[in-house]
Amino acid sequence: MSNNILEIKNLRKSFGGLKAVDITSLNFERNKIISLIGPNGAGKTTFFDLITGFTKQDSGTTTFDGKNISNLESFKISRLGMVRTFQLTKVFDRMTVNENILFSASSLKNDRFINSLFKSSIKSKIEQELNERKNEVLNMVNLYHMKDSYARELSGGQKKLLELARVIIQKPKILLLDEPLAGVNPKLSEDILSLINTFVKEGISILMVEHNISAVMKVSDHIVVLAEGSVIAEGSSDEIRANEKVVSAYLGKSNE
Amino acid sequence: MTDLKRNLIGLSLIVFSIGSIYLLNDEGPTRIFINLMAFAGIYAISAIGLNIHFGWTGLINFGHAAFMGVGAYTTILLIPHAAGREGSINEEGLPLFLAILIGLVASAIFGLIIGLPAIRLRGDYLAIVTIASSEIFRLVVRDQEDLTGGVYGVISFSDVFQDIRPKFLEDLSLRLDVSVGQLWVATFSWIMVILLVFLLKRLQNSPWGRALRAVREDEDAVRALGKNAVWLKLQSFMLGASIAGLSGILLAFNYGTLQVEMFVPLLTFYIWAIMILGGVGSISGPIFGSILFWAFISETDQLASLIFENADGQQIAGVRFMLVGVLIIALMILRPSGIMGKKEELLLDVK
């Protein structure tokens, strides 16, 4: 098994005349926190959309955990163990916190129409087991007291936590987080970062897009800098700090 | 608001509106009541199907009448009937329940055929495709006279349905002074409503029902979590379509004739009105909504003729629908989530 969880070759996408993403080669190591930074419009979210199958790529190969996943449908990619979150939190507003997580945890077999008709109700044995796992996860993100509330009643930060709980219950191999700290207060940012650290310890690789540079510098094992759709630099936080191209493209004149 | 309170409000509205029938009509109120219950049951079934589409899955289906029509035409043409200009008689036919089963499957397949290309569309675009498909269905049926009887319709098919009617209904109909045929349609429809409620209660609290609601809330998130949103939507479309098919079959038996003009878009919008009145997303909503809708249709007739003494039938029909409009507006202001809907799951504040 290769040490890279994700290998990207010649990934290209343009919208009309605009070259959104043009990456010749990019590899992500297993079991690390890797951050993707770059100015607005650098193609970070498009990059996420491309590798998770939400947008069709023009060309290129993406290999995830030894499998070629280019042009695979998004839900199939997710089932292989590459799960993403969104820049704007997408919780199921008019479902309870419980239902949000149970839906994610439930297996495809359990979800089947025929199964639901004859065997599994929310009182079935499978659902009881899911329920236990769900409670563990809810305790981990500190949302247990909200379990019966509708998701739309949660605060912005709590929605972020719910989204994290919802993906982590699937025990993915790699987690793609799109701005997990956007609009979150400093205290909660700390909590989310420590959660991310826990995930890595459990063997989950993390790839995140984030604008909070000090947080990125603190937690990342590896940083990739995108500008105008291409990789302009990658390396450890010290290397990135010292890189002049990055400083001028993104960080501005001040270094911190 | 608690479930108990919701049920009480719904029940008292129904008791009030049915009571009014007996107050407003001096002659044969029971006949009017049975007629009302037959239609209310049939439309409730259809609204239950639509509720699976819109209330559970968030699919905007404006072609519901066609799903009812496909079920009705398939079943009726498979049992003994007479069709077309000459009323050519077809005495051969499949057993009733087999024909009904095939009708339900046909509706589901029709749902699948419309759904496959259209279901990837979101919101309003699906609405346009479904309303167009429903008109295509209606025009094709009208055109294919050899097969469907065209504008002349299909008649003389009710016997097989009336043959299975239990004996005691005949005594009952004599005592109540109502048509035994319609009494049987009403009874059968309400048995179906009750069966559907059990089925839906089971499905709503199942992992499958939960998945449908997730699709309603956010399709992208559903896909990102590894679930096939398109297939879930197609399944919802097929289930709702086949329930609508059942309603169409019963509608044909209730009229005793099958005319293509029964399945105009107006029918679709009646079903929508019923679902919204009753409460989108709730199981009992369409049932309460349907009884109320039909009670109101029946009473506004009387009311309009009380208010406008010299009005003729056509004018009264016009006033009646104005009053129905007023009812829906009043209800939307007073109870925007419908009679049985939950405020937390209010679906009409589409973002």
Among the listed residues A27, A220, A213, A181, the one whose alpha carbon sits nearest the alpha carbon of residue A89:
A181
Complex-level ipTM: 0.91
CA distances from B76 to B73, B160, B296 (A): 5, 10, 30
- Residue B87 inside a domain? The answer is yes
Question: Are the Cβ atoms of A94 and B211 closer than 8 angstroms?
Answer: no
Domain that holds residue B338: 3-345
Candidate from A73, A95, A122 with C-beta closest to B214: A95
Chain A partners within 8 Å of B199 (Cβ): 117
**pLDDT higher than 70, residue B58:** yes
Closest C-alpha among B271, B337, B303 to residue B17: B303
Residue A1 burial (CB count, 10 A): 7
Cα dihedral A121, A126, A127, A133 in deg (nearest 10): -170
In a domain, B127, yes or no: yes
Give the pLDDT confidence of B4-27 residue by residue, as tens digits.
888 888 888 888 888 888 887 777
- On whether residue B350 sits in a domain, the answer given is no
Evaluate if residue B106 carries a pLDDT over 60.
yes
Q: Do B210 and A106 lie within an 8 Å CB cutoff?
A: yes
CATH (domain of B248): 1.10.3470
d(CA B54, CA A167): 27
DSSP string, B99-124: HHHHHHHHHHHHHHHHHHHHTTS-HH
Domain count, chain B: 1
For residue B351, being part of any structural domain is answered with no
CA distance B200 to chain A (A): 9
CA-CA distance, B121 to A252, in Å (whole number)? 43
* Res A57 pLDDT > 60: yes
**Which residues of chain B have a CB within 8 Å of the CB of A116?**
202-203, 206-209
CA distance B112 to B241: 9
Task: Catalogue all structural domains in chain A, each as residue range(s) with its CATH number.
Answer: 4-90+171-251 (3.40.50.300), 92-153 (no CATH)
Q: What is the structure's pLDDT at B350? A: 41
- In this predicted structure, the answer to whether residue A255 has a pLDDT above a threshold of 50 is no
If we measure between CA atoms, which residue out of B65, B64, B63, B92 comes closest to residue B77? B92
pLDDT of B209-235, one tens digit each?
999 999 999 999 999 999 999 999 999
- Name beta bridge partners: A176: A84, A207
Question: Which residues sit opposite A225 in a β-bridge?
Answer: A37, A233
Q: Is position B28 within any domain?
A: yes
pLDDT at B241: 97
Q: Lowest mean pLDDT: which of A22-26, B100-104, B344-348?
A: B344-348
pLDDT at A1 over 60: no
User: Measured between alpha carbons, how far is B41 from B249 in angstroms, rounded to an integer?
Assistant: 12
Query: In the predicted model, is pLDDT for residue B133 greater than 50?
Result: yes
pLDDT tens digits along B140-195: 999 999 889 889 999 999 999 999 999 999 999 999 889 999 999 999 999 999 99
Phi-psi region of A68 (alpha: psi -120 to 50; beta: other; left: phi over 0): beta
Task: Name residues 331-350 of chain B within 8 A of A (Cβ).
Answer: 344-345, 347
Interface test with B, best of A55, A64, A106, A111 (most B CBs within 10 A): A111
Q: Is B112 on the interface with A (CB under 8 A)?
A: no
In a domain, B86, yes or no: yes
Cα nearest neighbour of A51 on chain B: B224
User: If you measure CA to CA, which chain B residue comes closest to A127?
Assistant: B207
Tens-place pLDDT, residues B262-289: 999 999 999 999 998 898 888 999 999 9
